[in-house]
Structure 1
Amino acid sequence: MKHNMRSDTGLVEVVGPTTKFTFNPKEGIDNPVMVITDGADIASSPSPRLCVLKREEDESYGFNLRVEKGRQGHIVRNVVPGGVADRGGLRDGDRLLEINNRYTDDLPHSEVARMIKVSGHQMCLLVLDGEEYEKAVSRGQDIRGLTRDDKSFQPPRLCHITRDPASGLGISFTPLEGVKGQFSVSPVAGGAAEKAGVRKGDRLVWMDGAVVSDLTFSALTRMMKKCGNYITILVIDTESEKYYTQKRMPILPTMAVPYNLPYRARKLHLDSGPKGYGFLLRLEKVTSGRTYHVLREVDKGSPAEKAGMKDGELLLEVNGESVESLSHEEIVERVKQSGQQVTLTAISPLGLDFYTKLGLSPVLFYEGDAAAEKEKQSNVPASANSPQSPRNEMDALRKPRLYSLEKGPFGFGINLGCFPKGPGAVITQVTLGGPGQNAGLVVGDVVIEVNGQNVEEKYLEDVSLLMKKGGRSLSLLVMDGASHKKIKEAEAPSTDVTETEEEDDSYELTIL
């Protein structure tokens, strides 16, 4: 089967007015000449706005998100008067910088639209006024740097706990004295909860889809008694909770790192064979009465079987486009438009039921995605390993990182771009679900070595050639782009180069 992925523009909303400051040298500073700034006056620094969006069932957020020719960024348009976005303060022309604490300015539009769709009824946006954004871009300012000022917090954790026959769930909750709807978490050392990622002193945010701030301790106790052998909770450490509270940000499952989840959606990459893909797509009604597109009759030895397709799985996406609102004929057409390759997202019926009961999108977490890799690295008992501080995490990002990739059906899943008028290569795109993303590569990483050979002084074509020589395996040593730039600036004398002129000469290569 085949398809062509097109993502609908999402509808979203924002919060909080922007306060503008105009510098007056007659007030507060007698001699403005003595004021030293780094490149630009503090008064002109762009001020992103934090926007919390919450809609009701069957209500849209009330705006469009667009990419426009001749303009940079994901642009807010068509804000519906009186709608969710309008009431929240979202303005025409705003640029979207983050969704649920994930930076979006360098992501493909289709991926940003997908992030909006999986957020459900509530999400947190960081936006920048369109005029301020364009001025910042024209000055060559680091847009991403505007979002990193005070992020001294850890993401929440979505933990699925399976009852141990001997010790039970291994967790208890204590209400905070004098504070309604807030509970401290205590996992049993070495017990089921601790193994599932819960740490001593965590705050409980959410349990099996219910926000606990709305619950009394007796109601929480009743929920625990009814949960049976499994429970899924959202927790966060106390310091991070303080940050979210100060910023008036909701703590959402869409922001979380998953731990021990029993089901994940799977990406299936298929290359068409002489007899097609080797499976059937059927429209079937399940016991709940709802109708789904079901993957059936997977031929032995077919491209579908080689991709890992299982009979009875439910189809969620074709090339990243949700099939929820598509007819059977429209899905078939999408697959046909895809040519000789197609990527399907599927999940088991039990998996869909799991996410539906929690009120979450089944494509929120993928099997083998970057979040799962982070979970794998972090999933150790709290008593054995305390969480890494935000400062240490940032220090780790600033150091070179070595990754090993195996070529998939669509290559290594990364695009490379060159530095303007100079040697070197930088990652400009990371394909969702591809080997690059699964390994941990991110947009903006600068390539230091390819298969053990330094490439910092090589041009893009030579870097690409080295990658191809490695065959189906690739070893990359990379560094965070901002850190690499600072190192190079420290090593070399200052130059008088205009960034806006250089960028016109840049281009990209897709590593297949």
Structure 2
Amino acid sequence: MLPASFTSYLSVFHAVVDVVGLTEKFTFNPKEGIDNPVMVITESADSVSTPRLRLCFLKREEGEAYGFKLRVEEDCHGHLIRNVVSGGIAERSGLRDGDRLLEVNNCFVDNAPHSEVSRKITISGHQLCLLVLDGEEYERAVSQKQDLRVLAKSYKEEGCKPPRLCHITRAPSSGLGISFTPLEGEKGRFSVSLVAGGAAEKAGVCKGDHLVWMNGAMVSHLSHAALSRMMKKCGNHITILVIDSESEKIYLQKKIPILPTMAAAHNLPFRARKLHMISGSEGYGFLLRLEKTPSGRTYHVLREVERDSSAERAGMRDGEILLEVNGESVESLMHNEIVDRIRLSGKQLFLTSITASGLEFYTQLGLSPLLFCEDDAAEKTADDHTSPNKKKDLSSPRLCTIQKGPLGFGFNLDCDPQRPGAFISQVAVGGSGQSAGLVVGDVVMEVNGQNVEEKHLEDIIMLVEKGGSFLSLQVMDQTSYNKMKQSDISNTDAITRKQEEEDEYELSIL
């Protein structure tokens, strides 16, 4: 009989022999590599745990197409890249048929509605940054229940921050409050120097930021002298794209372009607004007109907002330019096509609009105004329950006395470029203007006792600045103001409509 210890050793020996016997079945051929299923399984597991993301930067010229389609298909997850044109911009950037789209310009879109993703691509303009994953790897990641949002974030390092788009308005005492220093040995790269508490710092620019873009132009090809000349020509306002130096390093290492379409907006003077309307028995209560501007371009303009209508409750302002109907751009649509879409909306309608000055601002920067929207839906839903007394108060001229605070007077002025006068375009939350009773859309009738109804915006702003730290404004709700003026000249509307018909302008009551 064998000792127990020897029996144990023999069992172990047999186990070793079994393993060796299995191992001997694997062969090595220098031409074919190692024929080992265990190694293949290990490599496959690694690829599942760390799918290979690809960043594709697409840049097109005016009139060019990116050369791909974005689709949602039955039995397939995610947003699919399809119909990649051979030799086109998309293919040259690295896009492949079947890729799944995870991010558009640093914005995670995998779980977003298809229409919203398409819209983000459309409004990006001539430059587009897409983060994608191969189709097979995407399906594997979904089956493994991996968090795709975390996966997309892992492409950039922890703490990487988006660039900032900052609009700076010159202050009387300290100017723009910013200067730029070229980085030694690096052409086209500039660091930011700030005046403490100055205009640039208040606009969201931070110490140590690097400049990327100014007034619509990338600075990577500029010398310091050229940048200085650009600064001198900017006047009282400048819009810049900046990023902190640490985040910039990550962007450069990952070869991620730094674009205004990726930016967090700071202190922008204009924003597009989303209006949500529910149709009443009389319709929505506004006119849509096709109007020609002094520049010769035609736009679809919102006019004659009726008192107590759905349009007024949604915050619609007379003279604003229509940008979207139910999330669809109207830029390429005919007047009757827009009207059809509005009338087919049923009881609910979503419009996006912006002032004429706002559209001009974004046009000069080469950006779509739809990139930066001020969503008024929640605020205006609350306004639907406003008491009748408040509405009655707004319908009469109101005298608002304002003392300058930490946010200045706490409001912005804008105008309709086709007529004199000004209105309140923005009111800072918690600011002096809001405390004094100013409401977005109010028409400014008097500044410090002086009538300004026939003055231009620049002159009105000068009167405001001359008032020092105290300001007295007489204002009136825009719809009531328009009706008051119409009652003074009752035949104006009929004459205007006749002229519009003669000029072949289009007009629709909605």
1:319 maps to: 326
Deviations 1:289-340 (A, max 9, x none): 1110000111111111111111100000001100001111110111111101
Taking the TM superposition and a 5 Å limit, the aligned residue runs for 1:113-152 are 113-149=118-154, 150-152=156-158
Taking the TM superposition and a 5 Å limit, the aligned residue runs for 1:30-109 are 41-44=45-48, 45-109=50-114
Quick one: distance in 1 between partners of 2:307 and 2:380?
A: 24
Quick one: distance in 2 between partners of 1:116 and 1:68?
A: 19
2:265 maps to: 258
- Native 8 Å contact 2:273 2:376 kept in 1: no
Q: By how many angstroms is 1:201 displaced?
A: 1.0
Q: Summarize the Cα distance change of 1:175–1:335 in structure 2 as closer, same or farther, 3 Å threshold.
A: same
Quick one: distance in 2 between partners of 1:338 and 1:175?
A: 54
Quick one: distance in 2 between partners of 1:369 and 1:208?
A: 27
Asked if 1:277 is matched to 2:284, the reply is yes
Taking the TM superposition and a 5 Å limit, the aligned residue runs for 1:408-419 are 408=381
1:171 maps to: 178
Asked if 1:296 is matched to 2:299, the reply is no
Q: By how many angstroms is 1:57 displaced?
A: 1.0
- Native 8 Å contact 2:274 2:376 kept in 1: no
- Native 8 Å contact 1:98 1:125 kept in 2: yes
Q: 5+ residue gaps in structure 1?
A: 1-23, 371-404, 412-512
Taking the TM superposition and a 5 Å limit, the aligned residue runs for 1:483-494 are none
1:239 maps to: 246
Q: Summarize the Cα distance change of 1:285–1:303 in structure 2 as closer, same or farther, 3 Å threshold.
A: same
2:235 maps to: 228
Quick one: distance in 2 between partners of 1:205 and 1:144?
A: 27
Deviations 1:11-34 (A, max 9, x none): xxxxxxxxxxxxx999999x9989
Q: 5+ residue gaps in structure 2?
A: 1-25, 385-510
2:507 maps to: none
- Native 8 Å contact 1:25 1:32 kept in 2: no
Quick one: distance in 2 between partners of 1:293 and 1:25?
A: 75
Task: Select 1:155's aligned residue among 162, 165, 168.
Answer: 162
Q: By how many angstroms is 1:124 displaced?
A: 1.0
Deviations 1:378-412 (A, max 9, x none): xxxxxxxxxxxxxxxxxxxxxxxxxxx88949x9x
Quick one: distance in 2 between partners of 1:407 and 1:275?
A: 20
1:468 maps to: none
1:191 maps to: 198
Asked if 1:203 is matched to 2:207, the reply is no
Output the TM-score relative to the length of structure 1. 0.65
Structure number with the bigger relative contact order (C-alpha 8 A, sep ≥ 6) is 1
Higher helix share: 2
Q: Give the partner amino acid of 1:143.
A: L
SS at match of 2:261: helix
Quick one: distance in 1 between partners of 2:365 and 2:379?
A: 35
Q: By how many angstroms is 1:151 displaced?
A: 3.0
Identity percentage over the alignment?
69
- Rg (Cα) greater in structure: 2
> How many residues end up aligned between the 2 structures?
352
Quick one: distance in 1 between partners of 2:292 and 2:345?
A: 27
Q: By how many angstroms is 1:142 displaced?
A: 2.3
Quick one: distance in 2 between partners of 1:129 and 1:74?
A: 12
- Native 8 Å contact 1:79 1:92 kept in 2: yes
Q: Give the partner amino acid of 1:151.
A: E
